[in-house]
Copies of this chain bind each other. A is one copy, B any other.
Amino acid sequence: MTTQEEKTRRAELIAAASRLFKEQGYERTTVRDLAQAVGMQSGSLFYHFRTKEEMLVAVMAAGIGDLTDRLEEALGQAKTPMEKLRTVCRVHLDTLLGDDKGALSVLLYEWPSLSDKARAELIKLRDSYERDWQQVLDEAAAAGLVHEDTRLLRKVLLGGLHWTIMWYRPEGGGTPSDLADRILELIIRKK
């Protein structure tokens, strides 16, 4: 009950922060903006988070955590290397470009705003996500679907996907999943 409400309030704050950090950037978002977005006074924020940076970390951790969960669930239903490849790209773009979430884009573009300490914590989570990618790419390379330098491919492909936030527009651009498929085409080695 209390736990419930606490979860709710924290979750509300994280959601609001996610949105605002994405829209305006972390530095340009004030704690007053954040408080107002959930209908409280700015001082009250600090009951839930010790610092503004802690909110940023929470947003990012939630973002990468969600993403990893989604990916692992989706991978559970993918059989072939090709299906898995499609899955990692689709889940990534669905999450990044889906309008309900800003957390992932915050993760990517506010990385330099983190203190070293906070960064270290998040790197662990990010690495776990990238390990899943690496496995999928390794299987795909083994099946001759992609170039065998999979470590480089992982970084470059993820970079290419990340960058879509800068130019993707839902109207007339197809769904994120469609886009994922088209991007995949660019690097697939047809048998």
Interchain CA distance A156-B153 in the complex, whole Å: 13
Are A112 and B109 interface neighbours, CB within 8 A? yes
Residue of B nearest to A153 (CB): B186
A164: B residues at CB distance < 8 A: 155-156, 159
The answer to whether the Cβ of A147 comes within 8 Å of any Cβ in the partner chain is yes
A158: B residues at CB distance < 8 A: 163
Contact among B27, B153, B183, B187 with A28 in the assembled complex (CB-CB below 8 Å): B27
Interchain CA distance A187-B27 in the complex, whole Å: 37
Are B25 and A147 interface neighbours, CB within 8 A? no
Interface of A, secondary structure class, is: helix
Number of copies: 4
Contact among B28, B156, B187 with A163 in the assembled complex (CB-CB below 8 Å): B156
The answer to whether the Cβ of A166 comes within 8 Å of any Cβ in the partner chain is yes
Residue of B nearest to A188 (CB): B147
Q: Mark A127-167, 1 if CB is under 8 A from B, else 0.
A: 00000000000000000000101001101111111111011
Q: A156-B163, A159-B160, A163-B155 are in contact. Are A147 and B186 (CB under 8 A)?
A: yes
A28: B residues at CB distance < 8 A: 27, 113
Q: How far is the CB of A125 from chain B (nearest CB, A)?
A: 16
Q: Mark A67-89, 1 if CB is under 8 A from B, else 0.
A: 00000000000000000000000
Interchain CA distance A147-B187 in the complex, whole Å: 9
B-binding residues in A (CB < 8 A): 25, 27-28, 109, 111-113, 147, 149, 152-153, 155-164, 166-167, 182-183, 185-187
Can you identify 12 A-B contacts, CB atoms within 8 angstroms? A25-B27, A147-B186, A152-B186, A156-B160, A156-B161, A156-B163, A156-B164, A156-B183, A156-B186, A159-B163, A160-B163, A162-B163
